[in-house]
Amino acid sequence: MGEKNSPCVVITTCASAEEADFLASELIKNRLAACVQILSVQSHYWWDEAVNRSQEKQLLIKTMESRYAELERKILEKHSYECPEIILLPIEGGFSGYLDWIKAESSEE
């Protein structure tokens, strides 16, 4: 991972709109994320010895890398999947005003 005080995007998926909305609200309410976007996606994957396809909600979570461990714990605590997708992607660049906003809204301070 990059610098601990750098902004990042964390991706996860949920089985339903209700679960995605609940998780997004929990992350925002607990200041673990500045913004969560919810997208509809169709996922194809291998699970339980079979090819699966499902409609899911993908969450794009904007936060700081310093918040990742706590954010991951919260996702695992609230998620319905046995093995949820949780991926951290560092943000290498972007509009400084937006990146500063992420930092201000999701920092531990």
Could you tell me the domains of the chain?
7-106 (3.30.70.120)
Distances 8 to 13, 34, 76, 79, 97 between C-alpha atoms, Å: 17, 11, 19, 21, 15
For residue 59, the cross-strand partners are 12, 38
Per-residue pLDDT of the chain (109 residues; tens, 9 = 90+): 445 789 999 999 999 999 999 999 999 999 999 999 999 999 999 999 999 999 999 999 999 999 999 999 999 999 999 999 999 999 999 999 999 999 999 977 6
b/e sequence 15-52, b meaning 16+ C-beta within 10 Å? eeeebbeebbebbbeeebbbbbeeeeeeeeeeeeeeee
Separation of alpha carbons 12 and 14, rounded Å: 7
69-85 confidence digits (pLDDT tens): 999 999 999 999 999 99
